[in-house]
């Protein structure tokens, strides 16, 4: 049982959204500096918050766990009715969030949602600002534990990484849908060029759901390149994935949770956007971290569709050479 009192924050359900909520979490931490701050999160994102400074505890997003915190205030980042009903059943006296999804009567402070488009991180900070809490910088920063770094180095070396070779992490999957995925044949060409022309090691990362895609990419690479292309799909916890990324010189990713995690871990990132809107979900980073957002400015984007009904031109038009050039620019800036 946790100590009573304090603030419980109901986290977003998706990794990318959870990372983009971190500036608002930092705002709450500064404002309630003498209160206990607890994050209630789904298992898929809960370990992210163990990497965030200033959080006192992380609990499961269920009524029993939230009730056990003894929190007197709940701040809800999800917009759903279910999330408001959850904290109501958890007997948290004060329940603050956006007045979305018919939940105004459940919340004790219901904030009107902004009427203009904005970045998702700004959307979360708008909520806390409307609650009378001052906003800080729109930046993210994670602290990678030493044991996660140890596990990351061991995993990489077991799969053939020589630390004398610069490491590039590629995250070619996307949970939202195939339309968000950069073309696998483009990934093959990029990894081949990185290995042959730059003598870099490429680590392909993703969930178990990305395993087939990643295995196909590695198998399609020339035989002489395959030892330099590491298949880590499904082999990392979230902290170890962040640690793997922190060891890399660059991360290349579709618009995904991995993209946001890489930037938050302080890794220069090439972010590839197809059907989704980079103005709403571009990765956040510290001022000293370089982010390169690549798009193909075709008439039909951002369509926000899970599957492309035509020829996927928003992604096919981002050539491997464009991404390689972005990686080279990052490398020159770091030199």
Predicted TM-score of the model (pTM): 0.95
What region does 269 belong to: left with phi over 0, alpha with psi -120 to 50, or beta?
beta
* pLDDT one digit per residue (tens) for the chain, 335 residues: 334 479 999 999 999 999 999 999 999 999 999 999 999 999 999 999 999 999 999 999 999 999 999 999 999 999 999 999 999 999 999 999 999 888 999 999 999 999 999 999 999 999 999 999 999 999 998 999 999 999 999 999 999 999 999 999 999 987 767 899 999 999 999 999 999 999 999 999 999 999 999 999 999 999 999 999 999 999 999 999 999 999 999 999 999 999 999 999 999 999 999 999 999 999 997 888 999 999 999 999 999 999 999 999 999 999 999 999 999 999 888 76
The separation between CA 38 and the C-alpha centre of its own chain, rounded to angstroms, equals 20
Q: How far apart are CA 13 and CA 21, in angstroms?
A: 11
pLDDT at 141: 86
Report all structural domains of the chain as residue ranges with CATH numbers, in order of start.
7-130 (3.40.50.2000), 146-334 (3.40.50.2000)
Residue 55: which of 32, 78, 74, 85 has the closest Cα?
32
| Residue owning tokens 């981002």 | 318
Which neighbouring-strand residues pair with 229?
202
Q: How far apart are CA 302 and CA 37, in angstroms?
A: 37
Residue 154: which of 227, 216, 230 has the closest Cα?
230
Q: How far apart are CA 95 and CA 106, in angstroms?
A: 8
Polymer length of the chain: 335
pLDDT at 2: 39
3-class secondary structure, 38: strand
């Amino acid at each position: 049982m946790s100590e009573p009192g304090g603030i419980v924050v109901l986290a977003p359900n998706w990794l990318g959204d959870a990372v983009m909520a971190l500036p608002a979490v930092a705002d709450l931490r500064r404002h309630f500096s003498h209160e206990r701050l607890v994050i209630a999160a789904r298992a898929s994102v809960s370990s992210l918050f163990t990497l965030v400074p200033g959080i006192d505890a992380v609990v499961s997003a269920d009524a029993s766990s939230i009730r056990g915190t003894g929190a007197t205030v709940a701040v809800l980042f999800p917009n759903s009715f279910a999330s408001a009903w959850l904290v109501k059943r958890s007997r948290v006296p004060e329940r603050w969030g956006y007045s979305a999804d018919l939940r105004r009567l459940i919340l004790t402070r219901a904030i009107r949602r902004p009427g203009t488009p904005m970045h998702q991180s700004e959307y979360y900070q708008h909520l806390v600002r409307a609650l009378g809490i001052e906003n800080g910088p729109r930046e993210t920063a994670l602290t990678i534990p030493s044991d996660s770094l140890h596990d990351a180095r061991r995993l990489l070396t077991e799969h053939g990484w020589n630390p004398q070779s610069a490491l590039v992490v590629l995250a070619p999957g996307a949970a939202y849908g195939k339309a968000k995925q950069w073309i696998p044949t483009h990934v093959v060409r990029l990894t081949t060029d990185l290995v042959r022309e730059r003598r870099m090691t490429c680590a392909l990362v993703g969930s178990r759901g990305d395993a087939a895609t990643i295995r196909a990419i590695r198998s399609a690479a020339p035989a002489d390149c395959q030892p330099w292309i590491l298949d880590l799909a499904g082999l990392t916890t979230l902290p170890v994935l962040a640690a793997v990324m922190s060891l890399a010189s660059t991360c290349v990713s579709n618009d995904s949770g991995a993209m946001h995690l890489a930037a938050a871990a302080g890794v220069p990132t090439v972010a590839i956007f197809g059907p989704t809107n980079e103005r709403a979900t571009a990765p956040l980073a510290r001022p000293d971290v370089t982010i390169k957002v690549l798009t193909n400015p075709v008439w039909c984007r951002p369509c926000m569709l899970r599957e492309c009904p035509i020829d996927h031109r928003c992604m096919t038009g981002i050539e491997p050479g464009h991404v390689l050039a972005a990686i080279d620019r990052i490398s020159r800036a770091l030199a």
